[in-house]
């Protein structure tokens, strides 16, 4: 039977060089990787998702529950957005969408987006969208919950990627701390880590991805899929299909 790869992701899992795409687009790295090991992907992701959003999806989305008994490997492709500068606390930043009337919401959003690059630089990249310790806490909560049901289910955690985004003032101070804490956590818990920056870093930093400086081009999706397959294939006990 074809293996099922369950992916919790952020927008990097469904954005291409020209914006977001449907989850079943064959050019996206989750689908490329699953196809390469003869399997299929079930993707749960959202714009700006952090590890906390992935945990909420696991515990609150009944669509996830239907897949848990038959999943063959879990990929935690969140943590990258956690490390981005967030000059406003997350609850205030995300609360902008609820402002009314419409003209006030648009004006506040425009003002915040204009100020965000400057504030990111002035504040040295702090605070971040989700502190590193909380990223690890929510990732661990996911793994603990999943292993309560599926003790032998293999888990792969993608380490945060890099960016060159003008929207964040080209600042990414919080990434290294999250990477270090995730590596230590994964070693303690038997989770496999995938250093996505090792395969996508040049693609992003040399401007070959999306013009926003965060998301990847189609060549980048291929690189990430190839790198992920190197971890998936042995966990699934099968050679890659390509």
pLDDT of residue 1: 82
Q: Count how many domains the chain has.
A: 1
Asked whether residue 118 is domain-assigned, the answer is no
Domain of 192 in residue numbering reads as: 4-85+124-236
Residue 30 has pLDDT above 80, yes or no: yes
In sequence order, the 6+-apart residues with CB closer than 8 A to the CB of 105 are: 96, 97, 98, 99
Q: What is the mean pLDDT of residues 225-239?
A: 93
Asked whether residue 141 is domain-assigned, the answer is yes
Write the pLDDT tens digit of every residue in 112-128: 999 999 999 999 999 99
Instruction: Please state, rounded to an integer, the average pLDDT across all residues of the chain.
Output: 96
Write the pLDDT tens digit of every residue in 145-191: 999 999 999 999 999 999 999 999 999 999 999 999 999 999 999 99
In terms of Cα–Cα distance, which of 105, 201, 206, 125 is closest to 167?
Answer: 125
Asked whether residue 165 is domain-assigned, the answer is yes
Asked whether residue 109 is domain-assigned, the answer is no
pTM: 0.96
Which CATH number does the domain housing residue 182 bear? 3.40.50.1110
Residues 218, 16 contacting (CB under 8 angstroms): yes
Asked whether residue 241 is domain-assigned, the answer is no
Share of the chain above pLDDT 70, in %: 98
Asked whether residue 232 is domain-assigned, the answer is yes
Asked whether residue 216 is domain-assigned, the answer is yes
Asked whether residue 160 is domain-assigned, the answer is yes
CA-to-CA distance for 38 and 238, rounded, in angstroms? 9
């Amino acid at each position: 039977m074809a293996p099922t790869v369950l992916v919790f992701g952020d927008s990097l899992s469904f954005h291409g060089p020209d914006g977001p795409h449907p989850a079943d687009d064959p050019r996206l790295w989750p689908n490329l990787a699953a196809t390469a090991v003869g399997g299929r992907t079930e993707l749960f992701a959202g714009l700006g998702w952090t590890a906390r959003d992935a945990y909420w999806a696991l515990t609150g989305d009944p669509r996830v529950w239907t897949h848990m008994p038959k999943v063959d490997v879990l990929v935690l492709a969140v943590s990258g957005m956690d490390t981005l500068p967030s000059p406003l606390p997350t609850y205030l930043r995300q609360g902008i969408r609820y402002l009314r009337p419409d003209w006030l919401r648009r004006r506040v959003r425009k003002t915040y987006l204009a100020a965000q690059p400057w504030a990111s630089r002035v504040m040295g990249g702090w605070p971040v969208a989700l502190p590193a310790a909380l990223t690890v806490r929510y990732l661990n909560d996911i793994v603990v919950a999943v292993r309560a049901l599926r003790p032998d289910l293999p888990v792969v955690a993608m380490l945060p990627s890099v960016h060159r985004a003008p929207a964040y003032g080209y600042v990414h101070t919080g990434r290294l701390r999250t990477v270090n804490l995730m590596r230590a956590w994964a070693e303690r818990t038997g989770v496999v880590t995938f250093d996505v920056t090792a395969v996508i870093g040049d693609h992003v930093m040399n401007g070959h991805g999306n013009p926003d400086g965060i998301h990847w081009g189609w060549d980048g999706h291929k690189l990430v899929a190839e790198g992920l397959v190197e971890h998936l294939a042995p966990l699934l006990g099968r050679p890659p299909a390509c």
